Structure 1
Amino acid sequence: MDWLNAPRVVGYLRLFAVLNIAMIVWLVATSHGGIDINGYLLGSDFISFWTTGHMLVDHANPYDGAAHILAQRRYYSTEGAYTAFYYPPSFLLFCWPLGWLAYFPALGLWVATTGAFYIAAVRRWWADAGTGVPLWLLFAAFPAVPIVVTHGQTAFLVAGLLGLGAWLVPARPQLAGVLFGLATIKPQFGLLLPLVLLATGEWRVIASAAVTALALALLSAGAFGAEAWTDWLGASERAQTAMAYGQIGYGKMMSPFAALRLLGASMTVSYAVQGAVSLGVAALVLKASWRKAWTPGLAALMLAGAPLATPYVLDYDMVILVFPMLWLAGTGLAGQGLAGPGRAGRFRDWERAALFMAFAAPALARPLALYLHVPIMSLVMLLLFEIVRRRAVATPD
Structure 2
Amino acid sequence: MGQDETSGGIWAAARSGAWLNPQRVRAYLWFLALANGLSLAWLLITARGGLDPQGRLLGTDFVSFWAAGQVVQAGGNPYDAVVHAAAQGVVWPNQTGYTAFYYPPLFLLWCWLLGLTGYFTALTGWLLATGSAFLLVVREWAWRINWLALAAFPPLSISLTHGQTSLLLAALLGGGFLCAVRGQVAMAGLLFGLAAFKPQFGLLVPVVLIAARQWRVIGWAGVTVVASMALSSLAFGPGIWSQWLDSASPAQAAMAGGAIGFGKMQSLFAGLRLIGVPVGAAYAAQGFLGFSVAALLARVAWQRGLTRDVAAAALTGALLATPFVLDYDFVLLAFPLIVLVQGAAMPWERTIAALAFAVPAFARPLGVLIGVPMAPVIVLALFLVLLRRAGHQTGPAR
Sort the TM-score into its range (normalised by shorter chain). over 0.9
How far is 1:100 from its partner? 1.6
Residue of structure 2 equivalent to 1:29: 45
Moved more, 282-291 or 353-362: 282-291
CA distance in 2, matches of 1:139, 1:225: 41
> Does residue 1:116 correspond to 2:132, yes or no?
yes
CA distance in 1, matches of 2:303, 2:241: 36
2:238 maps to which of 226, 239, 245? 226
Residue of structure 1 equivalent to 2:350: 352
Aligned length: 378
Counterparts of 1:185-334 in structure 2, within 5 Å, are 185-332=197-344
Contact 1:199 1:292 in 2 (8 A): no
1:152 maps to which of 163, 181, 188? 163
CA distance in 2, matches of 1:272, 1:181: 29
CA distance in 1, matches of 2:318, 2:93: 35
SS in structure 2 at match of 1:29: helix
SS in structure 1 at match of 2:55: coil
Residue of structure 2 equivalent to 1:81: 97
How far is 1:66 from its partner? 1.8
CA distance in 2, matches of 1:247, 1:310: 17
Contact 1:50 1:106 in 2 (8 A): yes
How far is 1:317 from its partner? 0.2
CA distance in 2, matches of 1:375, 1:39: 28
AA partner of residue 222 (structure 2) = A
Contact 2:105 2:232 in 1 (8 A): yes
- Per-residue CA shift, 1:82-130, capped at 9, x if unaligned? 1000000010010001112111111111011000000111111112xx8
CA distance in 1, matches of 2:93, 2:388: 49
- Per-residue CA shift, 1:104-160, capped at 9, x if unaligned? 111111011000000111111112xx8xxx432222110001110010000000011
- Per-residue CA shift, 1:328-359, capped at 9, x if unaligned? 22122xxxxxxxxxxxxx442x3221111000
How far is 1:80 from its partner? 4.7
CA distance in 2, matches of 1:158, 1:147: 15
> Does residue 1:97 correspond to 2:113, yes or no?
yes
AA partner of residue 49 (structure 1) = F
SS in structure 1 at match of 2:320: coil
Residue of structure 2 equivalent to 1:52: 68
Residue of structure 1 equivalent to 2:371: 373
Residue of structure 2 equivalent to 1:71: 87
How far is 1:2 from its partner? 1.6
Q: 1:79 to 1:108 in 2, by over 3 A?
A: closer
CA distance in 2, matches of 1:21, 1:215: 41
AA partner of residue 138 (structure 2) = V
CA distance in 1, matches of 2:317, 2:218: 19
AA partner of residue 177 (structure 2) = A
Identity over the aligned pairs, expressed in percent? 47
* TM-score, scaled relative to structure 1: 0.93
How far is 1:79 from its partner? 5.9
CA distance in 1, matches of 2:148, 2:129: 19
How far is 1:38 from its partner? 2.2
Contact 2:193 2:224 in 1 (8 A): yes
Contact 2:304 2:391 in 1 (8 A): no
CA distance in 2, matches of 1:122, 1:47: 27
Contact 2:166 2:331 in 1 (8 A): yes
Contact 2:56 2:96 in 1 (8 A): no
How far is 1:78 from its partner? 4.1
Residue of structure 2 equivalent to 1:339: none
Q: What are structure 1's unaligned runs of at least 5 residues? A: 333-345
AA partner of residue 162 (structure 1) = L
RMSD across aligned positions (CA): 1.3
Residue of structure 1 equivalent to 2:29: 13
SS in structure 1 at match of 2:111: helix
> Does residue 1:162 correspond to 2:173, yes or no?
yes
Contact 1:119 1:139 in 2 (8 A): no
Contact 1:123 1:135 in 2 (8 A): no
Residue of structure 1 equivalent to 2:13: none
SS in structure 2 at match of 1:290: helix
AA partner of residue 220 (structure 2) = S
- Per-residue CA shift, 1:44-69, capped at 9, x if unaligned? 00000010111111111101122112
Residue of structure 1 equivalent to 2:7: none
Contact 1:201 1:291 in 2 (8 A): no
